[in-house]
Amino acid sequence: MRMDAGASRLTLGYLLLATLWVLLSDQLLAGLDLSVRLEERLQSFKGLAFVAFTGTWLYLLLHCHARARAQTWLSLSANTERLDLALDAARDGLWDWDPARQQVFFSPSYAALLGMTQAELGNTREAWAARLHPDDCEQALHALLTFDHTQHYENTHRLRHRDGSYRWILSRGRLLLDAQGKPTRFIGIASDITRRRADEESLRQAAAVFDATQEGVLVTDRALRVVHVNPAFTRITGYGAAEIIGQQPSLLKSGRHDSAFYHGLWHALQSRGAWSGEVWNRRKSGEIYPQWQNIRSIRDERGEVSHYVAVFSDISALKRSQHELDYLAHHDPLSNLPNRLLFTERVEHALERATVEQPGAVLLIDLDHFKHINESLGHNIGDLLLKAVGDRLGTLLDKGMTLARLGGDEFGLLCERCQDATQAASLARRLLSTLGAPFDLNDHEFYISASIGISLFPGDAENLEQVMRNADSALFKAKSSGREGYAFYVHELTEFARLRVELVSALHHALENHELRVYYQPLHDLASGALIGAEALVRWQHPQRGLVPPGEFIPVAEDSGLIGAIDAWVLEQACRQMVLWQEQAEAPRFVAVNVSSRQFGRDGLDRQVARVLADTGLDPARLELEVTESAIMANPDAAQALLHRLRALGVRLAIDDFGTGYSSLARLKRLPVHKLKLDQSFVRGLPHDSDDVAITRAVVALGHSLELKVLAEGIERPEQVEFLRQIGCDYGQGYLFGRPQPVAPALAVPPLASRRPVTVAPRTS
């Protein structure tokens, strides 16, 4: 427009100047009053001058105009280039719609968004609309028609690419209106947002997964502050997002793992960027539970750790089912007992720990003639019976024992700590006797029997296979020797153990049936020959075997735990006897009672003695307790303390069988005893055996130097007394003075057992 005004102004100026020149230049010449010739010549010159002037003027004008145009063109093309570059950099396309001509300009970059050239894309709205995705067509066209003209236009739609795929296009633009509000131009840019849409889509999906997943997710920043958790995290841990965000994940620690565990975890995270494993954590409720956890570190664009993400699942249910599976794999479903697999595992384990001092035993228990029951009464009854057998055997289990059903009618019993063959045999007898009682199943009464094979380890076998094979051949032996019995892998053991077991049960009977007796042997003063005391010695009046000496049953009683009851009975009997003797003239002044080394190692002997003294009313000074040297030396400190407590009661104390137990002199010096009883093995060779002579002299001298009295045991001949007298031995005991014998019925106390039942302590081993 400005160019047009300039052009008319120039033209008008020129017309005015030319007109003025035509009108005025002739008059000026006429006014000069020149000659005609000169005037003619000037007339020509004037014409030429006008042409030259206007020609120069025109030239200058055109030159200026051309320069201005060039300038404008330059800046225009720079702008266009800038715009193109900007659009290209942004990968955006330009569109420009001319409503008047109903034409659309699509920039080359716009066409490129769809893989086309401008020409291919065309320049009409229809061509554009034809490329719209059918699902977007309606809304895109509707948006064009209805958008608020005062606002910017913005619409997202899909356009078909040349390759047939659809691209998400974000189109933004502005409608320009003229003074009358008529649209003059609609211009804008279009961007391909297909990738962004896909990213947003996958982000949305990830967020949905994050929220919906069953796995707990916890995200921390690099300083290990929790920045994000998902709903599953809250469900599993009990902590709401608000409670945990900003905290350290160590809040969840259970304390079950040591620092080495966490060290390993961090090492893996730092070196590999990931760690996975089982972690025990604590819920808000305080419950500790197992998780399977995957932890990853996330690095930023500079490669530095920016976040840690932990994804975990609560595996407590899994653990439970694993446990159940494990149980199923290791147990027999019928009896609920461990099966062969678990049994052999335990035997193997027991084998590893067993030593000669601490042996173990495997007992294979096989029901006799079970097949007949199954065949005649059916498998249901058979199953019920097996279950009942398992239940019944189970009642005999002690600590360290495993009962298993190995298959069919075979059961196995592992006894991890079995003192010796006797204990295994007594266990076998108890098993057999418990099975001997009738079974009541479905209103039927059954009597069954079983055979047991016993293998001891590590004595008989060193590995699992040997143990099981030995037990199996022992079982075969038991079956072939008439069933309803037990056998050891080694025959001699069977016999020995049988005798011992029989002895133990017979001893039980002896106590219950009052078959025990107390015999007394006199103790004499060697110098004066006077009776000073009597030693109580237990005897067993066996109904068939007659009088059994203590040497035959005391060791068995000690092993089986019966010794406690026997000693208690003898002590009380002897004290009562002494109370009676007190009133007679020619009677011992004190009674000596033997205390088993087993009793001596236990607490409570002093209390027991005090109680008996109180019950019987015996003066403590009239009771002497004999403790063997070996019992003291087995646990010297405890023995010394016990002896002090006993002495505090006022009773007298003697060390029995002195010389056989390797007492240390230092120890002996501190023992609060009154008497040493020199063992009869040293007295036997007196006075001729030089060793016995030397030992006896030394013991007497030692005793006296410690201010103890010395008594010699087992004196059978007068020359022994003579020698002992010579060397100053104080007292003597032996067949020469008198054998152990019962008190004449008139002077004896009635048996205690009739007044009080004897309680038998259970064996503890």
Residues at the contact surface with Mg ion, assessed by CB under 5 A: 594, 626, 656-657, 713
The two structure tokens encoding residue 557: 């009683």
- 3-state SS, 104-165, equals EEECHHHHHHCCCCHHHHCCCHHHHHHCECHHHHHHHHHHHHHCCCCCCEEEEEEEECCCCC
Only segment of 35-43, 114-122, 543-551, 691-699 that touches ligand C2E (CB under 6 A): 543-551
Nearer to ligand C2E among residue 368 and residue 567 (C-beta): 567
Q: Is there binding between residue 627 and ligand C2E (CB under 6 A)?
A: no
- What is the number of residues in the chain? 765
**Selected binder of ligand C2E within 216, 550, 703, 732 (CB under 6 A):** 550
Nearer to Mg ion among residue 450 and residue 568 (C-beta): 568
Q: Is there binding between residue 538 and ligand C2E (CB under 6 A)?
A: yes
Binding at 716: pick from Mg ion, ligand C2E, none (beta carbon under 5-8 Å per type): ligand C2E
* The dihedral formed by the CA atoms of 49, 53, 58 and 59, expressed in degrees to the nearest 10: 100
Q: Is there binding between residue 549 and ligand C2E (CB under 6 A)?
A: yes
**Selected binder of ligand C2E within 551, 745, 757, 762 (CB under 6 A):** 551
Binding at 538: pick from ligand C2E, Mg ion, none (beta carbon under 5-8 Å per type): ligand C2E
Binding at 216: pick from Mg ion, ligand C2E, none (beta carbon under 5-8 Å per type): none
Q: Looking at this protein, which amino acid is placed at residue 334? A: L
Only segment of 110-118, 164-172, 506-514, 708-716 that touches ligand C2E (CB under 6 A): 708-716
Nearer to ligand C2E among residue 276 and residue 680 (C-beta): 680
Nearest CA-CA partner of 433 in 408, 396, 404 = 396
Minimum gap (Å) between residue 560 Cβ and Mg ion: 21
Q: Given the DSSP bridges, would you call strands 675-678 and 709-712 parallel, antiparallel or unpaired? A: parallel
To which residue do tokens 């023992």 refer? 671
- Which residues ranging from 559 to 588 are in contact with ligand C2E (CB under 6 A)? 567, 570
Minimum gap (Å) between residue 592 Cβ and ligand C2E: 8
Nearer to ligand C2E among residue 236 and residue 609 (C-beta): 609
Minimum gap (Å) between residue 417 Cβ and ligand C2E: 25
**Selected binder of ligand C2E within 293, 374, 594, 616 (CB under 6 A):** 594
Angle at 333 between CA 332 and CA 336, to 5 degrees: 70
Only segment of 50-58, 133-141, 546-554, 700-708 that touches ligand C2E (CB under 6 A): 546-554
- Which residues ranging from 643 to 662 are in contact with ligand C2E (CB under 6 A)? 656-657
**Selected binder of ligand C2E within 313, 335, 521, 616 (CB under 6 A):** 521
Q: Looking at this protein, which amino acid is placed at residue 480? A: S
SS3 (DSSP) at 536: strand
- Which residues share a beta bridge with 354? none
Binding at 455: pick from ligand C2E, Mg ion, none (beta carbon under 5-8 Å per type): none
Q: CA 477, CA 495: separation in Å to the nearest integer?
A: 13
Residue 61, φ and ψ in degrees, nearest 5: -65, -50
Minimum gap (Å) between residue 636 Cβ and ligand C2E: 20
Binding at 724: pick from Mg ion, ligand C2E, none (beta carbon under 5-8 Å per type): none
Binding at 550: pick from Mg ion, ligand C2E, none (beta carbon under 5-8 Å per type): ligand C2E
The two structure tokens encoding residue 726: 């010579």
Contact letters (x/-) for ligand C2E, 718-757, by CB under 6 A?
---------------xxx----x-----------------
Minimum gap (Å) between residue 447 Cβ and Mg ion: 49
Only segment of 66-74, 375-383, 549-557, 638-646 that touches ligand C2E (CB under 6 A): 549-557
653 within 8 A of 672, measured Cβ to Cβ: yes
| E strands present in 355-443 | 360-367, 401-407, 410-415, 439-441
**Selected binder of ligand C2E within 121, 537, 618, 727 (CB under 6 A):** 537
SS3 (DSSP) at 693: helix
DSSP 354: -
Q: Is there binding between residue 625 and ligand C2E (CB under 6 A)?
A: no
Integer angstrom CA distances of residue 197 from 76, 93, 109, 132, 166: 36, 18, 20, 17, 12
Q: Is there binding between residue 596 and ligand C2E (CB under 6 A)?
A: yes
Size of the site for ligand C2E (CB under 6 A): 23
Minimum gap (Å) between residue 680 Cβ and Mg ion: 7
Nearer to Mg ion among residue 497 and residue 570 (C-beta): 570
Binding at 426: pick from Mg ion, ligand C2E, none (beta carbon under 5-8 Å per type): none
Q: Is there binding between residue 554 and ligand C2E (CB under 6 A)?
A: yes
The two structure tokens encoding residue 217: 């997710």
Non-local (6+) Cβ contacts of 328 within 8 A are: none
Minimum gap (Å) between residue 706 Cβ and Mg ion: 19
Helix axes of 491-512 and 421-436: crossing angle, nearest 10 degrees: 70
Binding at 734: pick from Mg ion, ligand C2E, none (beta carbon under 5-8 Å per type): ligand C2E
495 within 8 A of 503, measured Cβ to Cβ: no
Could you write out the DSSP letters of every residue in 641-692? HHHHHHHHHT-EEEEEEETSS---HHHHHH---SEEEE-HHHHTTTTT-HHH
Neighbouring CB atoms inside 10 A of 135's CB total 11
Nearer to ligand C2E among residue 577 and residue 594 (C-beta): 594
Q: CA 173, CA 154: separation in Å to the nearest integer?
A: 7
Nearer to ligand C2E among residue 92 and residue 535 (C-beta): 535
- Which residues ranging from 17 to 76 are in contact with ligand C2E (CB under 6 A)? none
Nearer to Mg ion among residue 451 and residue 594 (C-beta): 594
Minimum gap (Å) between residue 740 Cβ and ligand C2E: 5
Contact letters (x/-) for ligand C2E, 481-520, by CB under 6 A?
----------------------------------------
Nearest CA-CA partner of 233 in 248, 213, 204 = 213
Neighbouring CB atoms inside 10 A of 687's CB total 18
Q: Is there binding between residue 230 and ligand C2E (CB under 6 A)?
A: no
Q: CA 749, CA 98: separation in Å to the nearest integer?
A: 140
Nearer to ligand C2E among residue 136 and residue 624 (C-beta): 624
Q: CA 397, CA 418: separation in Å to the nearest integer?
A: 13
Q: CA 159, CA 169: separation in Å to the nearest integer?
A: 7
Nearer to Mg ion among residue 537 and residue 749 (C-beta): 537
Residue 78, φ and ψ in degrees, nearest 5: -65, -45
* The dihedral formed by the CA atoms of 138, 140, 145 and 146, expressed in degrees to the nearest 10: 100
Binding at 549: pick from ligand C2E, Mg ion, none (beta carbon under 5-8 Å per type): ligand C2E
Binding at 473: pick from ligand C2E, Mg ion, none (beta carbon under 5-8 Å per type): none
Exposure on the CB side of residue 714, measured as CA atoms within 13 A: 14
Residue 584, φ and ψ in degrees, nearest 5: -105, 155
To which residue do tokens 């079950």 refer? 256
Residue ranges that bind ligand C2E, judged by CB under 6 A? 521, 537-538, 549-551, 554, 567, 570, 594, 596, 626, 656-657, 680, 713-716, 733-735, 740
